Amino acid sequence: QKYNFGMIGLGTMGRNLLLNIGDHGFAGAGYDKDATKGALLEEEGKDIKVKGFSDIKEFVASLTTPRAITMLVPAGKIVDSVIEELLPLLDKGDILIDGGNSHFADTNRRVEYLEDLGYHFFGMGISGGEEGARRGPSIMPGGDKKAYSVMKPILEAIAAKVDDVPCVTYIGQGSAGHFVKMVHNGIEYGLMQLLSESYEILKNGLKLDGDSIQKIFAGWNEGRLQSFLVDITADIFKYRVPGSDHLLLDDIKDEARAKGTGKWTSQAAMDLQSPIPTIDTAVAMRDLSKYKALREQAATLYSTQETEKLDVDQDKFLVDLEQAFYFSMIITYAQGMQMLSNASTEYNYGLNLSEIAKIWRGGCIIRSSFLNDIYNAYEKDEELKHLLLYEDVANLVNETIPGIRSVLSKAVANGIAIPAFASSLSYFDAFRSKRMPSNLIQAQRDFFGAHTYELIGKEGVFHTQWVPKNGSEI
Ligand code: 6PG
């Protein structure tokens, strides 16, 4: 028996992907040093064609050629050591796929290294967590386009489907797949932060209990905010500590962890000079949350009184909050898409933004009904320079502005921190400005460093001696 697809790393994600492959009639082989994982795979997949190996040579020999082997191992040095272990066993033309969340710069390095040796290397973003891997993830493969044809039938079979369309497409050359997955995660960070700020407003601003908050999120998910993250958030407010009436959420420490993909998105955006302030804020707030001891100390100095209940008409305010979330969600996606557009030019990825929005509509963590609007925008206008410049999107944004302004002003006046909402609105207000106050920055730079400035309606660069030397009057 030969196997069509190989998987290295049989943790839950690896096993689930192989089971998914087996479900679709392909034969999948898995390798893990830990033989119990292979045994577990065979046990879980006893009715389908999957086999576990703990000997890497036997594993490689069991695969049809050209081989397609996916690594699902932790990002970083382990990927390099697995590659080195595999290399002597491979034939030229074989395809190695890194299905983890590797940094795109590492992927570029590996593509180059392996291509020189005659192998294909794919950086492939996979989103959807354990459940997605098992039932259908969103898949973002990047690498050599010709080699993609070997993987395509299997990936299309196992990917999530929206209206029968598989949530996988060839993303682009080099590290394009991992870059797009990284930005997906940046958007994920932004949306999660916006949801946690919504929770803060509902709990601390409106003083609502868990059941009421649950109903509000569940209601959002019935309408235009329908999305995986809103849906699971509503479910979190249902879960009680077994045998009690108590929400588990209330017992969870308020220190958010991160594996780094959000930070990488912000770092890469800075390199591209592509502003994504909502996502940056989400990264910063996870970091700030970790300073628990300092926050507690500061609270004794500055938060001596309970936050007062917002003095608002609750029903009207909830309408505003729904608008505020919709507004900020649009801004978050818009920042991410703009970053992809800039990266495509800068790194020659050849990204197709409508295809990317299309494969994000199902399977992945940021799937939402708004992705249909994004897909339509980039599909109808291939030259679209920014999502906010698309008329249908502008109409949605215009309609939600009263809500975001109202929510923000109430929260600010009451000392409730909602920085991602604030950042989204300020990004928008600056983006729609014909004139920003940046002329003053240019004047200051020229003042202290003779960095020069440009003048409106006049060619060239200029420098001014802003105050007379020797201290005399101007
Ligand atoms: C996905 C997720 C997945 C993972 C993140 C979590 O698309 O399935 O993004 O990749 O959950 O790595 O990231 P943090 O640990 O940084 O929150």
The pLDDT of residue 365 is 98
Residue 185 alpha carbon to ligand 1 centre in Å: 6
**CA 336 to mean position of chain CA atoms:** 8
What Cα–Cα distance (Å) separates residue 176 from each residue in 104, 143, 387? 8, 7, 20
Alpha helices in 348-465 (DSSP H): 353-359, 370-380, 391-413, 419-431, 438-449
Crossing angle of the two packed helices 261-272 and 314-347, in degrees rounded to 10: 60
Residue 416 alpha carbon to ligand 1 centre in Å: 27
- Could you tell me if the CB of 210 is within 6 A of ligand 1? no
- 453 φ, ψ (degrees, to nearest 5): -145, 165
What Cα–Cα distance (Å) separates residue 402 from each residue in 367, 390, 405? 26, 20, 5
Q: Taking the domains of the chain in order of start, what are their residue ranges?
A: 5-174, 181-431, 438-471
Whether residue 451 is annotated as binding a ligand: the answer is yes
For 422-463, how does the pLDDT look when each residue is reduced to its tens digit (9 = 90+)?
999 999 999 999 999 999 999 999 999 999 999 999 999 999
Handedness of CA 385, 387, 388, 394 (dihedral sign): positive
* Protein residue closest via CA to atom 17 of ligand 1: 258
Q: Which ranges of the chain have pLDDT less than 70? A: 471-474
- Could you tell me if the CB of 274 is within 6 A of ligand 1? no
What Cα–Cα distance (Å) separates residue 248 from each residue in 251, 252, 419? 5, 7, 25
- Could you tell me if the CB of 129 is within 6 A of ligand 1? yes
- Could you tell me if the CB of 283 is within 6 A of ligand 1? no
Residue 159 alpha carbon to ligand 1 centre in Å: 18
Tokens of 163: 């209206």
Tokens of 396: 């949605």
Cβ 445 vs Cβ 451: under 8 Å: yes
- Give the C-alpha separation, 213 to 13, whole Å: 32
For 354-365, how does the pLDDT look when each residue is reduced to its tens digit (9 = 90+)?
999 999 999 999
Residue 215 alpha carbon to ligand 1 centre in Å: 26
The pLDDT of residue 472 is 59
Q: Can you name the CATH fold of 438-471?
A: 1.20.5
- Could you tell me if the CB of 259 is within 6 A of ligand 1? yes
CATH class for the region spanning 181-431: mainly alpha
- 66 φ, ψ (degrees, to nearest 5): -60, 140
Q: How many CB atoms lie within 10 A of CB 40?
A: 17
- Give the C-alpha separation, 390 to 380, whole Å: 10
Residues with active-site annotation? 181, 188
- Give the C-alpha separation, 396 to 326, whole Å: 9
Please tell me what DSSP assigns to residue 348. Answer: T
* Protein residue closest via CA to atom 1 of ligand 1: 127
Homologous superfamily (CATH) of 5-174 is NAD(P)-binding Rossmann-like Domain (3.40.50.720)
- Give the C-alpha separation, 26 to 7, whole Å: 13
- Give the C-alpha separation, 125 to 180, whole Å: 7
Cβ 168 vs Cβ 138: under 8 Å: yes
Whether residue 76 is annotated as binding a ligand: the answer is no
Total residue length of the chain: 474
* Protein residue closest via CA to atom 4 of ligand 1: 129
Strand spans (E) along 17-76:
28-31, 50-53, 68-71
Interface ipTM > 0.95: yes
- Give the C-alpha separation, 320 to 357, whole Å: 27
Q: Which of 387, 380, 384 is nearest to 431 (CA)?
A: 387
- Atom index in ligand 1 nearest the CA of residue 364 equals 7
- 403 φ, ψ (degrees, to nearest 5): -65, -50
Residue 462, CA atoms < 13 Å, CB-side half-sphere = 12
Angle subtended at Cα 396 by Cα 391 and Cα 399, rounded to the nearest 5 degrees? 120
Q: Tell me which of 185, 229, 279, 283 to substitute to probe ligand 1's pocket, judged by most ligand atoms within 8 Å of the beta carbon.
A: 185
For 204-259, how does the pLDDT look when each residue is reduced to its tens digit (9 = 90+)?
999 999 999 999 999 999 999 999 999 999 999 999 999 999 999 999 999 999 99
